[in-house]
Amino acid sequence: MILKNSQTTLETPSFSVANASLVYSLLKWKIIGLHSGKLIPDKLISDLENFVERNLIVGDKKGSFCPRCLKAHASKKAAELGLDKDSVNFLGKIFKCEEGHNGYYLDSGEVVKIELKGGFSN
């Protein structure tokens, strides 16, 4: 079996609030990142999945969540896991939105302050 150059065969996965398969998208991004030495740990992917499950918008039958809050939470968890700067920047580019809301985000109804140290650069 001959393997083709994987960089030309990979499609860039989409990531938006309408995407019902957050984990699937993040796993695709993980593969793309690994090709260039960036790491999205499984522990982070699992944590983001749990964040979405506990922060679904009430009454929304599509299962939507706030991508800005998710991005802020991802930044916080990436810093806690000690991801290197290149991996953090790569992860930040996956989310096509602002980070949080005026320095804060919601998690299970609790307001969390966004720490600037080690987070994404917008």
Nearest to 43 by CA among 11, 82, 16, 10: 82
Give the residue, 64 or 73, on which the prediction is more confident: 73
Query: What would the two tokens of residue 45 be?
Result: 């992917």
**pLDDT band at residue 115, thresholds of 50, 70 and 90?**
confident
pLDDT of 2 strictly over 50: no
Average pLDDT value for residue range 40-69: 86
How many residues appear in the chain? 122
**pLDDT band at residue 121, thresholds of 50, 70 and 90?**
low
Q: Which pTM does this prediction carry? A: 0.77
Average pLDDT value for residue range 58-75: 84
